[in-house]
A = this chain, B = another copy of it.
Amino acid sequence: MPNKYDITDAELEIMQVLWKNKECDLNTIIEELNGETDKNRNTVKTLLRRLILKGSVESKKINLKDTVYVPKVKKDKFLSNQNDNFLKKLYNGKTGNLLLNFVENKKVSKEELQKLIDILESED
């Protein structure tokens, strides 16, 4: 029932590794997770299975014994999706409201904002 963008926190950690490495075998995933979060091998396998169930990840068999996992959602699409949900949930869906909050709480400086304007201007 859940779609491929419905990715839980634990699942996300795995997606991050997949996005970083394009595709990955289980051992690599576990290795990269260590330090960040310590997860049992079986836990990772279950998370991968759920991601596959939802269509967020695909498994490719290399041979009878080995498998690699490939992300099937693009990171930038996922991020847009998360941004939208977050804005909808807390800021009436309006980017402006969130930005205003950042400004009010000094989470962003004049210089940063100016740099963003520069980027926008360099585009047209």
Q: Which residues of A are in contact with B by a Cβ distance under 8 Å?
A: 9, 12, 76, 79-80, 82-83, 86, 89-90, 95-96, 98-103, 105, 107-110, 112-114, 116-117, 119-121
Known A-B contacts A89-B12, A95-B108; A101 and B113 likewise in contact (beta carbons under 8 Å): no
In the complex, chain B residues whose CB is within 8 Å of the CB of A96: 108, 112
Number of copies: 2
Distance of A12 Cα from B90 Cα, bound (Å) = 9
Known A-B contacts A89-B12, A90-B79, A90-B82; A102 and B95 likewise in contact (beta carbons under 8 Å): yes
Known A-B contacts A89-B9, A95-B107; A101 and B79 likewise in contact (beta carbons under 8 Å): yes
In the complex, chain B residues whose CB is within 8 Å of the CB of A82: 86, 90
How far is the CB of A31 from the nearest CB of chain B, in Å?
Answer: 20
* Contact among B76, B90, B100, B120 with A116 in the assembled complex (CB-CB below 8 Å): B100
Q: Does A117 lie within 8 Å of B113, measured CB to CB?
A: yes
Q: Does B110 lie within 8 Å of A120, measured CB to CB?
A: yes
